Amino acid sequence: MPETIPAGVATRVRPVYSGALPARAFMESIMNAKIRRFFAEEDGVTALEYGLLAAVVAGALVVVAGPALRGFFTALFAQLTAAVTAAFA
C-alpha cells in the first residue's frame, strides 16, 4: 500500500538549485553590488569637495591678482620666446 504524504509537505518536485546563475543574472548581480558600493562610498564626495574648494580658490586668485598674473605670464612667455628663438637661430 502506498504511503500517504503528510499534510504541509509540498507535493511538487522542485529542481535542485546548483548555485549557478544564468550569465545575465550573474552580471546583473555583480553590477547591482558595484552600484550599491559606489553610492555607499564617501571618498568621491570628499574629492569633489576638495575640487570645488580648489576651483573657488583659483577663481579668487584670478580676481584678486589678475593684473599681476597677466604681467607675470606675459614677461615669462616673452623670455621663453626669446630663449627658443635664440636657441634655433
Q: What is the pTM of this model?
A: 0.36
SS3 content of the chain, % helix, strand, coil (to 5): 70, 0, 30
Place of cell 555607499: 40
Please state the rounded mean pLDDT for residues 7-25: 61
Distance (Å, whole) CA 56 – CA 77: 26
C-alpha cell at 19: 548555485
Can you list the alpha helix ranges (DSSP code H) found in the chain?
23-40, 43-87
Distance (Å, whole) CA 36 – CA 27: 14
- Angstrom CA distances, 46 to 16, 38, 42, 49, 64, stand at 47, 13, 6, 5, 27
Q: What is the pLDDT of residues 43-80, one digit of tens each?
A: 667 888 899 999 999 999 888 888 888 889 999 999 99
Q: Looking at the predicted structure, is the pLDDT value of residue 12 above 70?
A: no
Please state the rounded mean pLDDT for residues 83-87: 94
Please state the rounded mean pLDDT for residues 19-32: 74
Given this model, what pLDDT does residue 25 score? 77
